[in-house]
Amino acid sequence: MTDFAATKAMFALPEGMIYLDGNSLGPLPKAAGARVHDMMTQEWGKLLITGWNKAGWMAKPTDLGDRVGKLIGAEPGSVVMGDTLSIKVYQAVASALELNPTRKVVLSDNGNFPTDLYMADGLLRSLGDDYELRVVDPEAVANHLTDDVAVMMITEVDYRTGRKHDMKALTELAHANGIVTVWDLAHTAGALPVDLAGCKADFAVGCTYKYLNGGPGAPAFIYVAPRLADQVRPALSGWLGHEAPFAFDLDYRPGSGIERMRVGTPPVIQMTALETAMDVWDMADIHEVRAKSIELTELFIAEVEAACPMLRLASPRDAEIRGSQVSFSFEDGYAAMQAIIARGVIGDFRAPDIMRFGFTPLYIDEGDVRAAVAIIADVMSNKLWDRPEYKVRNKVT
């Protein structure tokens, strides 16, 4: 059984704060500071460039890839870390398109995170006017998996509402229509169980700074199904994806398997911090995390709806099709969220009117939920948000 009290004790959580924004940025593992300090002083400081061999820096992207892979149901050796999620989206979609060369359409939905749509649109514009990014309502994706679609690019859990797609059903339907699949797991990895291998997903991408707690700027990951790994051509053919990087050939030859999806130099300091977060994950069972997450979100919804009738649930009511977040809509949601944050409950706001709260059982428990609801109810019932200072928009909302 996962000991959630033990995992909570492994995070640095500020006194007097209830942190319900781990779906945007996870908190600091207590071990990270010392581990990173040791890496910088003992490895970078003393080994300098020999650290690439002696400290195993070059192997971190695949070693960490396998650790993340266990949480997303990936086969060993099918996940590699590095770069940003935007870069990994570009890589995955470009490679997927080349696997389906007679088709020109990438299908997505309007609940997808904007960067995925931006990256796909930019890629398709560079390929020519005959390519199309087709964006439909989330509920309509299945009906648009037609025989002119090359790639289905879907974020499994909607970043605004937490609505969850059925990965297995959509992947099966896509494959039945000759479509290659790309799944974005940004709001899935570390929030709920995933079975990439069992669902026969083709590609998947995700970040590690949210539920995985790798820290701001933590590296992204990309998954390529083993059956495709030696077929795909990496559109971003960086030197570390080369078959022999230190041969310094002028001609690119892709490395074997997932190694070819590496691009540039791995961010070793950030990966060291991520390792400490993965040490905490080694203590947890993702199925138990999901069960506890459902308990916490169900409690939160019931308590908020009882105390704050002015808030409207924007997330699915059915926990089975909801991720590990709860969103409420409110016309003055930005100001309300700022007032709530000022009282020590940290959530965030997503335009146009979404107040978003994340529930991460590794460090959030029932007591936190009840205490948070009491503060939210006070802010909403007494209109404490209706002050000028709470209506000034910050760059990051």
The percent of residues in the chain predicted with pLDDT above 90, rounded, is 98
In this prediction, residue 394 has a pLDDT band, given cuts at 50, 70 and 90, of confident
Annotation says 184 is catalytic: yes
Give dist(CA 396, CA 103) in Å, integer. 38
pLDDT band at 395 (very low <50, low <70, confident <90, very high): confident
* 164 flagged as catalytic: no
pLDDT of residue 76: 97
Q: Is the pLDDT of residue 396 over 90?
A: no
Q: Take residue 72 and report the two structure tokens written for it.
A: 């997303």
Q: Which of 210, 260, 262, 322 is catalytic?
A: 210
Catalytic residue among 356, 359, 368, 390: 356
The whole-angstrom separation of Cα 169 and Cα 320 is 14
pLDDT tier at 44 (50, 70, 90 boundaries)? very high
Please tell me which residue in 4, 19, 113, 131 is annotated as part of the active site.
Answer: 113
DSSP per-residue letters across 11-59:
EE--TT-EE--TTTSPPEETTHHHHHHHIIIIIIHHHGGGHHHHT-GGG
* Average pLDDT along the chain: 97
Neighbours of 253 (CB within 10 A): 12
Confidence of residue 5 (pLDDT cuts 50, 70, 90): very high
Give the per-residue pLDDT at 18. 98
C-alpha distance from residue 351 to each of 132, 286, 309 (Å): 26, 30, 21
Task: Assess whether 8 carries a catalytic annotation.
Answer: no
Which residues have a Cβ under 8 Å from the Cβ of 131 and sit 6 or more positions away? 104, 105, 106, 124, 125
pLDDT tens by residue, 344-388: 999 999 999 999 999 999 999 999 999 999 999 999 999 999 999
* CA 335 to chain CA centroid, nearest Å: 26
pLDDT in tens, 46-99: 999 999 999 999 999 999 999 999 999 999 999 999 999 999 999 999 999 999
Label residue 137 by pLDDT band (50, 70, 90): very high
Residue appearing with tokens 């494959």: 175
First to last CA, the chain: 36
pLDDT surpassing 90 at residue 272: yes
Measured CA distances, 345 to 18, 38, 306 (Å)? 5, 33, 19
pLDDT digits (tens, 9 = 90+) for 162-202: 999 999 999 999 999 999 999 999 999 999 999 999 999 99
Question: What's the average model confidence in pLDDT over 236-264?
Answer: 94
Does the pTM exceed 0.85? yes
- Which residue, among 349, 360, 372, 397, has the nearest Cα to 4 in the 3D structure? 360
Mean pLDDT of 97-102: 97
Q: Phi first, then psi: what are they for 272, rounded to 5°?
A: -65, -40
Q: Which long-range contacts (CB under 8 A, 24 or more apart) does 342-345 make?
A: 342/390, 343/375, 343/378, 343/379, 343/384, 344/16, 344/17, 344/18, 344/375, 345/17, 345/18, 345/20, 345/372, 345/375, 345/376
Q: For 310-331, what is the mean pLDDT?
A: 97
Helix (H) / strand (E) containing 117:
helix 114-127
To the query of whether residue 209 is one of the catalytic residues in this protein, the response is yes
Q: Judge whether residue 393 has pLDDT over 90.
A: no
| Distance separating alpha carbons of residues 154 and 295, to the nearest angstrom | 27
Look at residue 264 and tell me whether its pLDDT is greater than 90: yes
CB atoms inside a 10 Å sphere around CB 65: 24
Q: Which of 184, 202, 348, 368 is labelled catalytic? A: 184
Could you say which of 209, 330, 349, 363 is catalytic? 209
Query: What is the pLDDT at residue 164?
Result: 97
In the residue annotation, 383 being an active-site residue is answered as no
- Euclidean distance between CA atoms 120 and 203, whole angstroms: 14
* Residue pair 163/138 in contact by the 8 Å Cβ criterion: yes
Which tokens hold the place of 137?
Answer: 């309502």
Whole-number pLDDT of residue 397: 79
Nearest of 116, 74, 66, 79 to residue 261 by alpha carbon: 79
What is the predicted pLDDT for the residue at 98?
97
Which pLDDT belongs to residue 392? 87
